[in-house]
Amino acid sequence: MKMNMKRNGCLLAALCAAAFAAHARPSFLIPERLYAAPGLECNIYYKDVFDSVVPQNYAFQTYASKGRSELTRWCWTPEDKDADTSVEVVVNAWNDDGLVASATTTVEVAAAPADPSRRVTFALFGDSLTNSRFQDRILADMQEAGHVNYVPVGSRKGTHPGAAAHDGFGGYTCDTFLTRYAVAEDEIANVQDAAEREQLKALGTPTKIVHEWQRGLLRSPLVAFKDGRKTLDVPAWLAKVNGGAAPDIVLIELGVNSVFAYRGEAGELRKKIRENVIPGFTRLISALRPHMPDSLFAVCTLPIGCSQDGFAVNYGANWNEVQHRKILFALNREIAEFVKEQDDRKLVLVPVANALDPFYSYIHAGTPAHARTTEKAVRDRNAVHPSGAGGGQMGDAIAAWLRCRWNSL
């Protein structure tokens, strides 16, 4: 009897272990379609598309009739002769037990533009990833391809050469764009009218401005203060950025600020995101669409981030790459599912997550390897924000998608 119980217990444990292993089996997240354009490098970085928390423990291979299957990526720069073609790409992950996962995607190459000189306006609602200037790279790519009347529109624009107008605000989410209107302490102090001062105080605790750049984050470009209250005013934004006309394309690059501190495993993370984050995308699009019914709305997948070293610099031992990877894969899966479920030809997915080099597209520097050496180790210095090189790769991916859509706009 005891022997049978022991045998049954071992069998149950084995079954549970097998079930857990099957549940925890890593998989690829690669959209069914990726986009490329002549002269722009197209990338699939394995660490960005394979959801294991230890992707370095796997070997990857890619089969395609074009490009190169390197150690960390598949890459291909189409030539003019490749325009208006497509390539099937099969990506496999292996360990010593055999094939772990496989995914197939089709890379579409942009056709030659029927009218490269047509005017196309492009609005961007984003977060601090715009500090990598990916919007500038899109503009440069489009101009270099002959699209001289590609026009970025937005309420913000840098003073540097080649700056593209946009609406990227650090810390913002979809709902921030619909609700944010705050005032600074010094603003209230300078208001002479007592009634107006009290109305502004009613918005909430005034913000103390320590750095001048913080002032630019106080108010969403879509929110105004009218008749003593904050009001969503999309027409006023359109009047400011595009002479009142709707942009041809609205790109949404948001989501990381909504989920950054989430905890848990894939299933519960996806449930939280589906219930608490994805509705924000619906609210933002629903608020904009009545004023721009013919615009094409596009939602990006988001970069996965860099190594643990970047998290150590930013957060000490309070946050980590392992959990961030779980969160971002869950978020990108839910974003892709959201777009697919809408079944709306005017709402599309733009694959970006696959395009960033996990090391060379992030900020890194040489630092002493430890306290008793002068030898330097090159380590990541910022957890989630791409460098200028990363912004370049983001811009290339978005520009390739845009060039693929050009003739159908």
- Provide the b/e sequence for 11-47 (b: ≥16 CB within 10 Å): eeeeeeeeeeeeeeebbbbbbeebbbbbbbbbbbbbb
Judged by average pLDDT, the poorest of 6-20, 205-219, 297-311 is: 6-20
Share of the chain above pLDDT 70, in %: 88
Beta-ladder partners of 45:
73
Q: Kindly report, residue by residue over 159-189, the tens digit of the pLDDT.
A: 999 999 999 999 999 999 999 998 765 565 5
What does the buried/exposed string (b/e) look like for 208-218 if buried means 16 or more CB atoms within 10 Å of the residue's CB? eeeeeeeeebb
Residue 182 and residue 216: Cα distance in Å, rounded? 11
Neighbours of 115 (CB within 10 A): 10
pLDDT in tens, 384-398: 999 999 999 999 999
Q: How far apart are CA 167 and CA 163, in angstroms?
A: 12
Q: In whole angstroms, give the CA distance from residue 40 to residue 43.
A: 10
- pLDDT computed for residue 19 by the predictor: 45
- Confidence (pLDDT) at 214: 76
d(C-alpha 280, C-alpha 326), whole Å: 21
Structure-block tokens of residue 188: 């209230």
Could you tell me the pTM of the whole model? 0.91
Of 341, 400, 338, 394, the closest CA to residue 48 belongs to 394
d(CA 1, CA 42): 63
Query: The tokens of 285 are what?
Result: 């699009």
Q: Distance (Å, rounded) from C-alpha 171 to C-alpha 201?
A: 22
Q: How far apart (Å, rounded) are the C-alpha atoms in residues 151 and 143?
A: 10
Identity of the amino acid at 108: E
- The closest alpha carbon to 108, from 45, 41, 40, 34, belongs to 34
| pLDDT (tens digit per residue) in 317-373 | 999 999 999 999 999 999 999 999 999 999 999 999 999 999 999 999 999 999 999
- Tell me the angle at which helices 266-276 and 321-342 cross, rounded to the nearest 10 degrees: 50
Give the pLDDT score at 313: 97
Mean pLDDT of 60-77: 98
- For residue 184, the cross-strand partners are 207
- Which parts of 231-387 fold into alpha helices (H)? 234-242, 256-259, 266-276, 278-288, 308-315, 321-342
Of the candidates 301, 305, 215, the one whose C-alpha atom is nearest the C-alpha of residue 251 is 301
Alpha helices per DSSP H over 120-219: 134-144, 174-179, 185-190, 194-201
In the predicted structure, residue 4 carries a pLDDT above the cut 60: no
CA angle 393, 177, 142 (to 5 degrees): 30
Q: Considering all CA atoms of the chain, what is the largest pairwise distance in Å, rounded to the nearest integer?
A: 89
Domains of the chain: 27-112 (2.60.40.10), 113-170+223-409 (3.40.50.1110), 182-218 (no CATH)
